[in-house]
Amino acid sequence: MVEIRTYKLKKDTRKVYEKVFTEQSLPMLKRWNVDVIDYGFSLDDEETFYLIRGYKNLEDRQKSQGAFYGSDEWKKGPREAILACIENYNSMIIEADIDLFKKSLLQK
């Protein structure tokens, strides 16, 4: 399954968010073995960012996110800077073959 999360950023926070995400959050997600499929900014709204992650199932997602967002590394690390940039966010979970999803993204 795939989670597609979109973040509406506060005005004029794009550069800060991008720096903190790419330099701190993304490496941390990788250390925590989170399957980050894709991420980036919307083509039609420079203040909307997306993050696509793959999970085995809903239970795996809950366990993974609970561990990650509950960790001291997150709480004492990039959490405050990331949250300061976000106006709101939405998540959508779809049933999808993760490998096929990744292949289709590579073809874009």
The CA dihedral of 68, 10, 108, 21, to the nearest 10 degrees, is -40
Would you state the pLDDT for residue 4?
Answer: 96
**Does position 108 have pLDDT exceeding 90, yes or no?**
no
pLDDT digits (tens, 9 = 90+) for 30-84: 999 999 999 999 999 999 999 999 999 999 999 999 999 999 999 999 999 999 9
* Mean pLDDT of all residues in 89-105: 83
Q: Sorting pLDDT into bands at 50, 70 and 90, what band is 98?
A: confident
Q: How far apart are CA 56 and CA 1, in angstroms?
A: 6
**Does position 107 have pLDDT exceeding 70, yes or no?**
no
Helix (H, G, I), strand (E, B) or coil at 100: helix
pLDDT digits (tens, 9 = 90+) for 63-72: 999 999 999 9
Domains and CATH numbers, the chain: 2-106 (3.30.70.100)
Amino acid identity for residue 21 in this structure: F
